[in-house]
Amino acid sequence: MAALGAGFLAVVFARGRGAGGIRSTAGARLGALSGLLFFGMRIFFVTSVVAFSHKGGEVRSQFIDKLQQAMARYPGPDVQSVLDFARSPSGLAFLLGVSLIFGFVAFIALGAIGGALGASFLGRRDPP
């Protein structure tokens, strides 16, 4: 949701700097760039907090707890094997990698949507 707002605000600030009317395609590109920058800053700050506060074990246990809660909703024979895989170091690394890739794509897509919506809502600025 914040990436959507970042894309929208990127168009608002670009429009305020005298860029005039921004088309939806340009707004989407601007929003995608802001989503990319927002994702990079978020990853930097989250990893910095985890690294400097030495709470890697706590983050890992919270991640596994959330995974167990999600899997409790879907009982089945394969659920335990997936949970065992997630508890292993290689499984945890795989799941974190997949979640990073999903977050990367989601932040860029939401930023682009926010930028396109911002450009279409604000429309062209009337000449002074």
Residue 97 lies in a domain: yes
Which amino acid is located at 88 in the chain?
A: S
Cβ-Cβ contacts under 8 Å for 8 (sequence gap 6 or more): 31, 114, 115, 117, 118
The answer to the question of residue 82 being in a domain is yes
Q: Rounded to two decimals, what is the model's pTM?
A: 0.77
Residue 16 lies in a domain: yes
Tell me whether residue 128 is in a domain: no
Q: Residue 48 falls within a domain, yes or no? A: yes
Structure tokens at 54: 């030495």
Return the C-alpha torsion angle 26, 28, 32, 35, nearest 10: 120
How many domains is the chain partitioned into structurally? 1
pLDDT of residue 95: 83
pLDDT recorded at residue 104: 95
63 occurs within a structural domain: yes
Q: What is the pLDDT of residue 17?
A: 67
pLDDT of the residue at 13: 85
pLDDT for the residue 20: 64
pLDDT, residue 77, reads 72
> Is residue 69 packed enough to be buried (19+ CB in 10 Å), middle (13-18) or exposed (0-12)?
exposed
Within a domain: residue 127? no
Q: What residues of the chain score a pLDDT lower than 50? A: none
Which domain covers residue 77, as residue numbers?
2-122
Is 46 inside a domain boundary?
Answer: yes
Q: Give residue 125's pLDDT.
A: 52
